[in-house]
Amino acid sequence: MIEVRDLVKRYGSTVAVDGLSFQVRPGQVTGFLGPNGAGKSTTMRIVLGLDAPTSGEGLIGGRRYAAMRRPLQQVGALLDASAVHPGRSAYDHLLTLARTNGIGPRRVAALLESVGLAGVARKRAGTFSLGMKQRLGIAAALLGDPAVLMLDEPVNGLDPEGVRWIRELMRSLAAEGRTVLLSSHLMSEMALTADHLVIIGRGRLIADCHMRDLVPDGESLEDAYLRLTAGSVEHGAAR
Amino acid sequence: MIASLSSEWLKIRSVRSTYVVLAVVALAVVIGALFVWQGMAAFDGLPLDRREKFRVIPMEEYMLPMVQLALGVLGVLTITSEYAHGTIRSSLVAVPARGTLLAAKAAAVAAVALAAGQAAVFATFLVTRALVGDRPIPDHGASVAQQAPQLLLLGLSVAVCAMVGLAFGVATRSTAGAIVSVVALLFVIPAGITYLPAPWGTRLSAVMLPNLPDQIAGSLGWRSEEVVVGPWARIPVLPPAWAAVALAAYVVAPLAVAAVLFRRRDA
């Protein structure tokens, strides 16, 4: 369970998140939607303790992220798949993260196998395509077998087979009772993957409801999303 | 902390820049040996009356800045490469206790820098003294056992430079900015400051990092009557204890500021 309460984040005079509250429940895939600059990534960074909120809080399982010991065993996150040292191998990249949380090399090798990177595990990550980096990022998020997953744009750059793999992975993780928060701009993909939606614009909550309640018969998620966010599109926002 | 340390150790071992830095250190030893080899050839060609005035700066002093800079850069890269590639976020997601993450980085870099620094200093000493042999060259007569305390301090100063580099890297979050700051603090300012009018040149120069190991070493520290300005001016002013305090301050003060910034800022 992820809880965001009255969250506010200002960067100078820019308000990135403006009194945002919502909950992400276990057992379903929750889609996190909003135009560029709506505050999705900022909200995720605050929940993960990377950025300090101006006010309010983000909690996971009722606790602040920064207070967790071995957090990878509770929460898995993919924020930016291209964030790898280009000279480090995929295996070493995962092992540096695993070691901090007492996770062994066997788990690293098994994950590389399951995300389809076993054959390139010793290759430098700088040689990877965006799709391969996404798979590496997913593997990093799954290292500690966490009950909560937060993934920012995990399908960017994936081939059709990879897109389907992510979709089925997210759905099976949610079916196991895990909490899955997934952000994406791909509405057709989100319509296939998510059960529940949280839509924000300009840092505020626009909708927090079940997919069925948001999209009337005969309309697509894209139509419903564009209708809801029509007033919130802000080009050139800071973050 | 042990878990974070083993992760940081693997981070250092698993990128090529570390091995480039260590290659530069090895090169410094080779260059020092070549200088002395060439110097000894010149010495042997001199008439006896001119041999008395022949001087060589000990190569463990002369080549030390190259080693210090190399490990200073390693200290910088340890953190700025994480900002440059965005991995700082995954590192902090894995280790949200920022003080722990920074301490683990500092410990891992310090270990590498200390080992590299001591290896370079002792290797340079042993190789160059072997090349000098029994020629009566000033400052080259002591055995490694006699000179060990000073040599250990020179090696230690390399680790201090790595810590300064790490701290500047945290503060600037920029590889170029941090390296320029390291070069300024460790090399440009110390060399330039000796040209200030007396007594300020000597006084300020006494607390510059390159001068501290030899002042701590006291009577074992290298000094030269001939060299009074520039990067190799060594005029002992501070008593060893105060010089030791100053050397410690070069580690503690930058790292303390870095720790405060690292905890406070958004990643």
CA angle B188, B192, B197 (to 5 degrees): 160
Over residues A98-114, the mean pLDDT reads 97
Q: Count how many domains chain B has.
A: 1
Greater confidence, B129 or B235?
A: B129
The region of weakest confidence among A136-140, A152-156, B107-111 is A152-156
pLDDT score of A237 more than 80: no
Q: How high is the pLDDT of residue A234? A: 62
Round to whole Å and give the CA distance between B20 and B10.
16
Q: What percent of chain A has pLDDT over 70?
A: 97
Q: How high is the pLDDT of residue B235? A: 83
Q: How high is the pLDDT of residue B157? A: 98
- Whether B235 contacts B190, CB under 8 Å: no
**pLDDT-derived band at B25, boundaries 50, 70, 90:** very high
Over residues B100-126, the mean pLDDT reads 98
- Whether B72 contacts B186, CB under 8 Å: yes
**pLDDT-derived band at B234, boundaries 50, 70, 90:** confident
pLDDT score of A239 more than 60: no
Q: Shortest Cα distance from B205 to chain A (angstroms)?
A: 40
Residue ranges of chain A whose CB lies within 8 Å of a chain B CB = 45, 48-52, 65-68, 71-72, 75, 77, 79-80, 82-89, 92, 95-97, 99-102, 140
Q: How high is the pLDDT of residue A44? A: 97
Q: What percent of chain B has pLDDT over 90?
A: 88
pLDDT score of A238 more than 60: no
**Cα B75 off chain centre by:** 11
Quick one: A157 exposed, middle or buried, by C-beta within 10 A (0-12, 13-18, 19+)?
A: middle
Round to whole Å and give the CA distance between A139 and A113.
10
Q: What is the arrangement of strands in the sheet containing A55-60, beginning at the earlier edge strand?
A: A14-24, A2-11, A55-60
Q: How high is the pLDDT of residue B232? A: 83
pLDDT tens figures, A113-129: 999 999 999 999 999 99
Round to whole Å and give the CA distance between A16 and A7.
10
Q: Shortest Cα distance from B4 to chain A (angstroms)?
A: 5
Q: How high is the pLDDT of residue A235? A: 55
Q: How high is the pLDDT of residue B220? A: 92
Is it true that the peptide bond before A216 is cis, omega within 30 degrees of 0?
no
Domain layout of chain A by residue ranges:
2-229
Round to whole Å and give the CA distance between B182 and B162.
9
Residue ranges of chain B whose CB lies within 8 Å of a chain A CB = 3-4, 6-8, 10-11, 14-17, 81, 85-87, 89-97, 266-267
Over residues B139-143, the mean pLDDT reads 93
Over residues B43-54, the mean pLDDT reads 93
Over residues A96-120, the mean pLDDT reads 97
Chain A hits for B105, CB-CB cut-off 8 Å, are: none
User: Is A51's CB within 8 Å of B267's CB?
Assistant: yes
Q: What percent of chain A has pLDDT over 90?
A: 89
Collect contacts of A116-120 with beta carbons under 8 A, ≥24 apart. Answer: A116/A165, A117/A90, A120/A90
Which homologous superfamily is A2-229 in?
P-loop containing nucleotide triphosphate hydrolases (3.40.50.300)
Per the prediction, chain B carries an average pLDDT of 95
List the one residue out of B12, B24, B7 whose CA is nearest residue B79. Answer: B12
Over residues B154-159, the mean pLDDT reads 98
Domain that holds residue B232: 2-264
Altogether, the residues listed in chain B come to a count of: 267
pLDDT score of A216 more than 90: no
Q: Provide φ and ψ at A130, rounded to 5°.
A: -60, -40
pLDDT score of B176 more than 60: yes
**pLDDT-derived band at A197, boundaries 50, 70, 90:** very high
- A57 forms beta bridges with A5
